[in-house]
Structure 1
Amino acid sequence: METKEKKFSSKDFHETFARPKFVMPDTLIHKNVENAGVHDQFSTERKHPVFFIDLPSKNVSMTIGGLLPDQMTNKHRHTYETLLYVIEGEGYTEIEDKRVDWKAGDAVYIPSWTWHRHKNLSSTKSAKYIASENAPQLQNLGVALREEEGRDL
């Protein structure tokens, strides 16, 4: 049975209740994420492979980013925060004018609206990271923006 979700406006403020309503989503797991394949448009734009994790979160997204040997992504920025957890490899992320070196096991914070890009330092091995972002939350609020150097500027 499908129920239509109510869209609230300013006149509905009195309907904000102290107890959340539990809703079980249809999907709780996305198995074998990388076998589903790279996200073609996003990977082409960013110039490196990106695998989207398809789960029903309305607040947090998660992707797996790959960097080929010697690869550097385009500079980009967005209104959402990013947490990276490096699974494989060694490289760095430029955040504005600061270089943050990383290797497998490290986590990196990228503040909102900062220009940044990622670089794999190895000439022979790929690097891989998990990126978590609050993009869906801001998209649902209508305030998510992303700029890509070479596409938007």
Structure 2
Amino acid sequence: MNTKTLLFLLLLPFALLGQQTYVPDDAFEQFLINEGYDDVLDDYVLTDNIKDVSFLPMNNLGIQDLTGLEDFTNLNTVRVLGNPIQSIDLTANTELQYITLGHQSLTSLNIDGLMKLIRITLQDSSLTTLDVSNNTSIKYWV
């Protein structure tokens, strides 16, 4: 057996497993399990299972960390209310048009470069500043 064939056979199982997204927050992953996007609480979800999700309503779930949200590449609307999240970076979610956040201890929000963002609603948040200068399509901001 030549070296190329052996290398191919060794790497084949990894290719068949599919790309995974790291989701370290158990509450966030449990939400994904409950919604049918994942099936095992193991800090990972198959990226193929989440790449086409367009709406995420994550209210009062105890989520502290949204790591993994960056792989929701078709996310249009996100609603995160009543979770103890301090920092959210949505810059990778370039399809976002609607964001509703609040009732949490949010102190940092990065929405830089979200050119399709139309509406952002912040309710009862600890956030004191928000730079929207690079979000030229925003029509409604509360």
TM-score when scaled to structure 1? 0.25
Q: Which has the higher helix share?
A: 2
Higher RCO, 1 or 2 (CA under 8 Å, sep at least 6)? Answer: 1
